Structure formats: structure tokens, C-alpha cells
A and B are shown apart, each in its own frame.
Chain A
Amino acid sequence: KAGVTQTPRYLIKTRGQQVTLSCSPISGHRSVSWYQQTPGQGLQFLFEYFSETQRNKGNFPGRFSGRQFSNSRSEMNVSTLELGDSALYLCASSPSRGENTGELFFGEGSRLTVL
């Protein structure tokens, strides 16, 4: 079974630009969560989607948005990039709600550098 796939793995942007990150969950997983990881703040929850609906949202500004498609693939978008958005963005999938104890299966992340 293929794992969680995130693209791109690395990217460099400049302030003011926008970026879109993609996540393909494990086949059969319908829940996708996104986390931002930085040395200073650790792992911060961004949002979680289940069956194309946002179920939970973290405490991030509106510049951070996401969506989920009918095939469970998810994208997150960050607009008007700031230097502080430089981070490793991790996507994680989990099984359907009935089996969901919260166990997350992570991708390798997309490392964003904002110059």
C-alpha cells in the first residue's frame, strides 16, 4: 500500500507570492490533516478535512486555506507569503471516522522557504 505522498518536497518562494501544496492520502483513508512544523513552534495544527468538509481548523490567519477533493486528495494554499511561513508542512491521513482513534500516517512533508 502506497504511503502518503506530498508534492513538492522542496520549494522556494519570495514574500508576497502564494503557494499550493498537494497531498495524496493512503488509499481508503478519507481524513487528511495538515500541520506546520517550525523549530520555534513545533507542530501546529492547520486544518483537517473529511469527505471534502473541513472538520477542524487551527489558529492560523485566513491566508492559510485548504480543500479536499472527492478522491480524498487535499491541497493547502498560502497566499501573500511572509518570511515566517518558512516551515515544513506535513500532511497526514487517517482511516474513516468509525475506525479513527486519531492515529495519523504522515507524508515526508513539503519544505517551504520564503525569501
Chain B
Amino acid sequence: AQSVTQLGSHVSVSEGALVLLRCNYSSSVPPYLFWYVQYPNQGLQLLLKYTSAATLVKGINGFEAEFKKSETSFHLTKPSAHMSDAAEYFCAVRSSGGYQKVTFGTGTKLQVIP
């Protein structure tokens, strides 16, 4: 079985401040992990993905995430928030081996305060 937990349905940061969005996963086998972003009235766009290569993954728009197996975490960070980062962010997991669906977390809405 696989699952994802995102801590905090809403996060507010000041423009220029660090962004930290938390994600913990559960998977009985090595996972593939993803972060997606969704802007209003749009579909989801891939920010970054972990597929068992480097544990620190860099994505688009200055975001990065670190895979920590011991903590079963895959938190998303960005050093300095921009107004344009305001959106909803989803963490997702797919167990490797065989074929599994992709399971999404419940999402975190990021508000950036000027």
C-alpha cells in the first residue's frame, strides 16, 4: 500500500521568506515521489520528481526537495518566495516495481504575503 500525508492545508509566508511544504510518504517498496503545482483553474504541472537517483532533487522555478528514507519524507523548499509562487502544491507517490497508480496528498495552498 502507498500513501502520502501533507502537513498543513494552508501555509502563509512573506515574500522573500523561505518556503517549506511538508510531505511524508508510506510505501512498502522504494517509491517514486513527485511534487506538482496547480494554479487556479488549471491542471497540475510537475515541479520535480525523485526516481532513486540523487536524493536532493532540483525542480523548476527554484524549488527543490530532499528524499530522506529514514524519515520517509520528501519536503519541498524554496529559499525565497515570490508572489507568483502562490498556488496549491501536491505531493504524490507511486510505488516502484510492477504497476501502481499515482496517489496524491490532499494539497497545501501557499499564500505569499507582500
CB within 8 Å of B: which residues of A?
A: 4, 33, 35, 42-43, 45, 48, 55-56, 58, 90, 92, 97, 100-109, 111
Contacts and interface: CB of A to CB of B under 8 A. Distances in A.
Nearest to A50: B99
A101 B107 CA distance: 21
Interface of B: 32, 34, 36, 41-46, 49, 51, 90, 92, 94, 96, 99-107
A109 B102 contact: no
A56 B101 contact: yes
Nearest to A9: B41
A104 B49 contact: no
Contacts of B43: 4, 90, 92, 106-109
Nearest to B99: A55
B106 A104 contact: no
A43 B32 contact: no
Contacts of B94: 101-102
Interface residues of chain A: helix, strand, loop or mixed (majority): strand
Contact of A101 (B44, B49, B103): B49
Given A42-B106, A45-B102, A104 B46 contact: yes
Given A43-B90, A56-B99, A101-B51, 16 more contacts: A33-B102, A35-B104, A42-B107, A43-B104, A45-B103, A56-B101, A58-B101, A92-B43, A101-B94, A102-B92, A102-B102, A103-B32, A103-B34, A104-B102, A105-B46, A109-B42
Contacts of B96: 101
Nearest to B107: A42
Most A CB contacts (10 A, CB to CB) among B43, B94, B100 go to B43
A113 to B, nearest CB: 14
A33 B101 CA distance: 9
Q: Of A33, A43, A100, which is in contact with the most chain B CB atoms at under 10 Å from its CB? A: A43
A33 B99 CA distance: 13
